[in-house]
Structure 1
């Protein structure tokens, strides 16, 4: 499934590049205002940081929420105390778009993460051109040379890479890729099964000073508390927020866990 998702995202990026050249996207990226100080915003504090996600659908759950106005949802997240907003831009299985990223960036003052299956520099230029402060890079989707090259390019554009791992080997690969947030995803992207214990098993490999992000397998405040107790600096939450009637109140309950 992961290989299929990456191939689809690269094909979609190729089609966009036929309309908007790499040079044009690069010019747009360089004209953007500087990225926000993500490191300062995610500085250690008593309460966990939450990255709240704009997510319409997923391969494992299908349609989750219509989300007619992603900017309104992102603003609700900001009111609820989110430290950042993640925007899924993959269009085939997650029903996202770069228009969603534009809308969210224009509305909120917190950092914005482009969550996408990224495999080439063009997609990172797009992320910066559309206002992203962070970009997701998945270790399992890339060979190490490409992973490290894209992580470095992300930093050159002023963004922070969120380096995602699912195993001990992938955590070590993330550390070899240099500075960035390190995320441990409880969801196996080949089978889409959940392993909530995975973050606790792997977090000790991530050195102090690196922001440790727990991803997936969050349904209740107790899940957030368990991640925090296991050493998470931040928790990325999508489905548990977009499926609720009041995402602001839900987010506040997670922060107070």
Structure 2
């Protein structure tokens, strides 16, 4: 699936058209997770669909979901902008950011410098860089380019081996461990535990995917996570504000 997505992304880049500058001021994504509202930071994801689950939210309104997330106490937002596989749009990110005061991550498959420019213009405060999708030297280039444009970068890895290669090039402030196996699409929240001792001092560990309950939050925190990225389990709820409170054990 990852190979399929990356192949298609290259064709999108060939047809790239520079978007209009949305003139949205930058917000500190890393700092919001370093100083979370609760005992563990929360990146809440605005997500309409996924390749493995299909349509997740039929009545989809990015600005409404984003506002509900903010009311529920999310620290940051993640917005899917990939159109072919996740039914996202660049406009969803701009809409979500305008409706809230939260920093926003652009969740997409970044493989080229023009996507850094695009992310900046649509209003992203941070981007996702996937270790399994990029040569470490290119990932480092894209990381520094994002920083130059005033954006943070969440560097996502699926194995210790990939992380070790990346750490030879850069020391990311935000390291995301994806609990979903990209080959089988199975999730295991214990995956973060495999990275104990490999996360540099000063880096924040973000546990991604497969988090549904307060017990899951407690578990990944025990494994060393400073923050979590949660999408599907929150989006399937009718009210995203209430979904966050249920996740943290503050409501039933």
TM over 0.5, shorter chain: yes
Q: Which residue of 2 aligns with 1:138?
A: 130
Instruction: Measure, in 1, the Cα distance between the counterparts of 2:214 and 2:148.
Output: 37
SS in structure 2 at match of 1:150: helix
Unaligned runs of 5+ in 1: none
Are residues 1:222 and 2:183 paired?
Answer: no
Q: Which residue of 1 aligns with 2:87?
A: 95
Instruction: Measure, in 1, the Cα distance between the counterparts of 2:58 and 2:153.
Output: 28
Instruction: Measure, in 1, the Cα distance between the counterparts of 2:214 and 2:16.
Output: 40
Q: Which residue of 2 aligns with 1:195?
A: 188
Q: Which residue of 2 aligns with 1:5?
A: 5
Q: Which runs of 4+ in 1 moved over 3 A?
A: none
- Cα distance, 1:132 vs. partner? 0.5
SS in structure 1 at match of 2:189: coil
Does the 8 Å contact 2:212/2:247 carry over to 1?
A: no
Q: Which residue of 2 aligns with 1:180?
A: 173
SS in structure 2 at match of 1:5: helix
Map Cα deviations across residues 57-87 of structure 1 (whole Å, 9 max, x no partner): 1111111112431010000000101110000
Does the 8 Å contact 2:43/2:227 carry over to 1?
A: yes
Unaligned runs of 5+ in 2: none
SS in structure 2 at match of 1:28: coil
CA RMSD of aligned residues (A): 1.9
Q: 1:43 aligns with which of 26, 31, 34?
A: 34
- Cα distance, 1:180 vs. partner? 2.9
Does the 8 Å contact 2:29/2:104 carry over to 1?
A: no
Does the 8 Å contact 1:185/1:214 carry over to 2?
A: yes
More helix by percentage: 1
Instruction: Measure, in 1, the Cα distance between the counterparts of 2:13 and 2:208.
Output: 25
Q: 1:239 aligns with which of 225, 232, 238?
A: 232
1:120-139 matches, within 5 Å, as 120-139=112-131
- Cα distance, 1:182 vs. partner? 0.3
- Cα distance, 1:201 vs. partner? 1.4
- Between the two proteins, the alignment pairs up a number of residues equal to 248
Q: Which 10-residue stretch deviates more, 91-100 or 42-51?
A: 42-51
Are residues 1:15 and 2:7 paired?
Answer: no
Instruction: Measure, in 2, the Cα distance between the counterparts of 1:7 and 1:64.
Output: 24
Q: 1:69 aligns with which of 61, 64, 79?
A: 61
Instruction: Measure, in 1, the Cα distance between the counterparts of 2:60 and 2:87.
Output: 12
